[in-house]
Each structure stands twice: as structure tokens, then as C-alpha cells.
Amino acid sequence: MKVLIVDDEEMIRAVLKEYIEFEGGEADEAQDGMEAVKKCRDNRYDVILMDVMMPKLDGFSAVKEIRKFSDTPVIMLSARGEEYDKLFGFEIGSDDYVTKPFSPKEVMARIHAVTKRAGGEKKERDVYEFEGLKIDKAGRNVYVDGERAELTPKEYELLFYFAENEGVALTRERLLNQVWGYDFYGDDRTVDTHVKMLRGNLKEYRKFIVTLRGLGYKFET
Amino acid sequence: MKVLIVDDEEMIRAVLKEYIEFEGGEADEAQDGMEAVKKCRDNRYDVILMDVMMPKLDGFSAVKEIRKFSDTPVIMLSARGEEYDKLFGFEIGSDDYVTKPFSPKEVMARIHAVTKRAGGEKKERDVYEFEGLKIDKAGRNVYVDGERAELTPKEYELLFYFAENEGVALTRERLLNQVWGYDFYGDDRTVDTHVKMLRGNLKEYRKFIVTLRGLGYKFET
DNA sequence: AACGTTTGTTTGGTATTTGTAAAAAATTTT
DNA sequence: AAAATTTTTTACAAATACCAAACAAACGTT
């Protein structure tokens, strides 16, 4: 389960992250609405925890923005008082809300409720399977026709990101940002080198990684 | 099992409560000594977790008061330093103590120790067996081909956490958070050292602890 | 077909990561 | 208080991964 925590207070983020990871989930953080929207464009989350009061872009506006392209469940974190009223009066497109101060346990309960409600039929999607290519994210395993593929860290992460964004055209820039990290200031072509190695390791399933000339790559089955 | 948590910091109460309830226990909270004494008059607890420094009525005084009418086991939560000495020198009527900052795991271990000593509660023991490696979590025993392995506390906890998360890729960060506790601010590589020692003690079963380059470790059979 | 542009591939130096041992620090036991 | 144990940090070697540069091949446009 992947959760995006959006709050400007580091302490709150840290505590929530701790709880989520304790239950085996994965937590990503954003300091403000702007960052949240950006992260939502580039990643798939199961649920978003969104603070209301934040610099740059407040929680309400961020949700509105995210709703333009995603229906990921959102739980608002709001202080009691002024924002509290808005939560009732506004059509903000959030799925639930928790008022501060909250207990982490309460938040976890809401997360479970929302993800169950939204996911409905789906079970934990931890393993991707594309024909004879099996990608086990939690266990960090990749199998090609039942045989374990030995990938380097970058190759793993690259493949995971591809799998998570099946069918989406990805520019080299975006891949560098998401897989290498925002602080990578190297050559674009580094992606090509890793794609080459990855293709080699995927054997026949190299076909899934399609080159988009002038753009980048796409993982397609 | 019913536990009363007495501490003025909500964060601490929340974390402990979460852990207790995770293990199927029941947790009640009090913000200060006064409230704790009152709750003890009205309820029966299996164990009390009592902070030392609190407004209204400090931990020592509260225990003294409670001892007038109850012999419920008490575990003191104290900051390192001044109170630490008192814990040794004073006859305070507490059964155990933990110094802050503590790992929730540590506190849970104390709770189990104290309740076992006091009441002889039902014991649920979970035993993992991987080939010739037997891990008795409740009994804190590890057997390598029938022979008991002498592990240090950290090695035990690390192995338990590995066993509980069989097949899951664990980052050093996550291991530090979950095994060492949320307040460990040391070096990542500390994990490596303990893994090395643990591997040595597991003899042939060192093979279960797989290194995931660029990530961390994984326990896999 | 020729040209410029983009991508595939190979390579080697550089940087990063891990295993290990030993020292240092902290903690517990005696 | 000393000794023993445990934990953490440090240092270094070895293994491994990364990245950029260079060249080849493919592509698309004219």
C-alpha cells in the first residue's frame, strides 16, 4: 500500500510515515500542495493524506487540482475550527477527514476504511505479472519465465517504475526525476544505457520496453 | 491484558497504545498522576506504564498513592539523568523501569515480563522454523540444528524482525526504525555490523539473510 | 540517397556499496 | 569500581554499479 503524506510539519509526516511503514506500507512525503500535485502526476498512490493549511498551495486547492486527473482517495487532515466548517460546506472531493490533534491510530483506521472502500474488489497488488515476466516489488524479485533475473539496483527501480506506469509514455527527464531522484544532474543518455542493460536481462520480454523516438520510453504489454 | 498508560505527552501515549493494541491488548490513558490514581481506583489493570515527570502529580508520588490500595505491577518511564538515580535509590514500589528514549519493542518486552511474573497469563508462543533454524520468539530462543544460539539482544530482535518479514525486502532505514526504534540517529552501517554478527551465529543458515545491494537485506528461505 | 538527428551498444575510469575487523563508546554484570 | 559484554563507529579492501564518452546503427526528413 502506497501513501502520500502531505503536510508542512515534518514531525507529523514522520509519525504517520512510521505507522504506515510499521504495517508494511510505503510512504512518500510532500511538504506542500504544489509538491503533492507534482508527485501525484508521476506516481500512483493508494491514498493521500492531505493537510489543509500549507504554504504555496493549500490542501483544498491541491485536491481540486489532483481531481482533474486522478481519483485517488484523499483524507484531509485539518485543525479544529475554521477549516472544520469548510469540510462540511465544500464539495472538495475528499473521501474522509481527521481533525488535529489526531492519534495516528485513528488515521490508520481511516486509511484502512478508505482503501477498502475504494479498492473494493482488488487485493493487495504487490506482484505484477506480464506474460512470463513476474515482478515482485516487496520481495525485490524479478522472474523471467520462472527464472530469477539478477538486476542491479537501478535496473530494479527502473523496471518497477515502468511496471507501475504501464502504457504511459515516459520521457528521459521524467525517468531521471522519478527513478534517479530530483538531484541527479547528469546526462540524459544514462537512461538509455540502463534501458539497454535492463532489456538484456528481460530476455524475450525486452519487447515490453518500447522506444518512443524523440520522447523516451514506454512499458507496454 | 489491560494496560494503563500514564504520560503527559500524547505522542508517547499514542505510540504505546498502538503497540499494545497491535498485540491484542487493551490500553487506557491518563495524562497525569492524579488522573492515573483515579483511574486505578475505578478499574483493574494488569500493568501500569508510568512516566516520572508529569504535571499535577509526578510518577513517584502517584505510585506511592496507588500502592496504598493496589499492587498492580508498575513500569516506570523515566528520562535518563536525574530521575534515573532515584529509580535505583528509592523504594518506589515499581516493578520495572524503562529509560527514555525507549523503543516500543523494549517496553512491550517489559510488559510481558512483568505480567508473566505477576499473573501467569496465558502465553501464546509463536515459533518459526526454517529448515534447521528454529526461532522461538516468545521464549527468546534460537536454535541452530538443535543447538541453542547465544545471541545478543539486538541480534535477537533483528532476527525476529527478519523472520516476521520473510521474503520482504527491508531497507536499512526501515530496520533501524523498527528494530532500533524511532529515535535512533546513528549510522546506517550499524545494521551491517549486526547482520554480520547474526550471520556468524546462524552458521550455515547465514544463507537466509540475503544482501540486496543498494537497498538493504532480506530474509529468505 | 544523403543528411542530420536520435537511439543502441560498448567500454573503462570513477564512485558507491558491502564485508570485515578492530577500535571506541556505552551498557551491563560482577 | 573493575571487568565483561554489547553496541556503535571507523577504516579499509574488495566487489559491484554507475556514468559518460565514443562510435555504430537506425530513423526520418528532405
Interface of A with B in 66-95 (CB under 8 A): none
Note the pLDDT of residue A54: 87
Work out the average pLDDT over B183-192.
90
CATH code, domain with A182: 1.10.10.10
Strands B2-6 and B141-144 turn out to be: unpaired
Phi and psi, residue B124, nearest 5°: -105, 115
| B89 and B40 assigned to the same domain | yes
Q: Does A37 score more than 80 pLDDT?
A: yes
| A95 and A67 assigned to the same domain | yes
Last residue of a domain, one of B119, B143, B161: B119
CA atom of B175 to C1′ atom of C4, Å: 53
Question: DSSP H helical segments within A29-152, as ranges?
Answer: 33-42, 59-66, 82-89, 104-119
| A111 and A174 assigned to the same domain | no
CATH code, domain with A12: 3.40.50.2300
Mean pLDDT of chain A: 83
| B193 and B110 assigned to the same domain | no
The closest of B215, B167, B208, B168 to B191, measured between CA atoms, is: B215
| B166 and B96 assigned to the same domain | no
| B7 and B108 assigned to the same domain | yes
| In chain B, residues 28 through 67 whose Cβ sits under 7 angstroms from any atom of nucleic acid strand D | none
| A97 and A140 assigned to the same domain | no
Continuous segment of H or E residues that includes residue A27: strand A26-30
The number of domains in chain B is 2
B183 touches strand D (CB under 7 A): no
Cis peptide before A153 (omega within 30 of 0): no
Q: Does B86 score more than 50 pLDDT?
A: no
Least confident of A208-217, B8-17, B92-101, B169-178: B92-101
Q: Which residues of B touch A9 (CB under 8 A)?
A: none
Task: Tell me the C-alpha distance between A105 and B55, whole Å.
Answer: 25
| A107 and A170 assigned to the same domain | no
Last residue of a domain, one of B119, B149, B172: B119
Q: What is the pLDDT of residues A91-120, one digit of tens each?
A: 556 667 776 656 666 677 788 877 765 543
Task: Tell me the C-alpha distance between A169 and A210, whole Å.
Answer: 9
Q: Does A41 score more than 70 pLDDT?
A: yes
Task: Tell me the C-alpha distance between A101 and A103, whole Å.
Answer: 7
8 A C-beta contact, residue B136 and residue B124:
no
Any long-range contacts for B107-112 (C-beta under 8 Å, 24+ apart)? Answer: B107/B16, B107/B19, B107/B49, B107/B75, B107/B77, B108/B19, B108/B20, B108/B23, B110/B75, B111/B1, B111/B3, B111/B20, B111/B47, B111/B49, B111/B75
Burial of A147 (0-12, 13-18, 19+ CB in 10 A): exposed
- Which residues partner with B144 through β-bridges? B133, B147
Last residue of a domain, one of B119, B146, B170: B119
Q: What is the pLDDT of residues B133-177, one digit of tens each?
A: 999 876 788 999 988 898 998 999 999 999 988 899 999 988 998
| B133 and B114 assigned to the same domain | no
| A45 and A152 assigned to the same domain | no
| B58 and B81 assigned to the same domain | yes
- Which single residue is written with the C-alpha cell 483493574? B44
| B88 and B140 assigned to the same domain | no
Taking the complete model, does pTM exceed 0.75, yes or no? no
Q: Does B88 score more than 80 pLDDT?
A: no
* CA quadruple B54, B58, B63, B66: dihedral sign: negative
The domain in which residue B136 lies consists of 127-219
CA atom of B185 to C1′ atom of C21, Å: 24
Query: Hey, is the C-beta of A152 within 8 angstroms of any chain B C-beta?
Result: yes
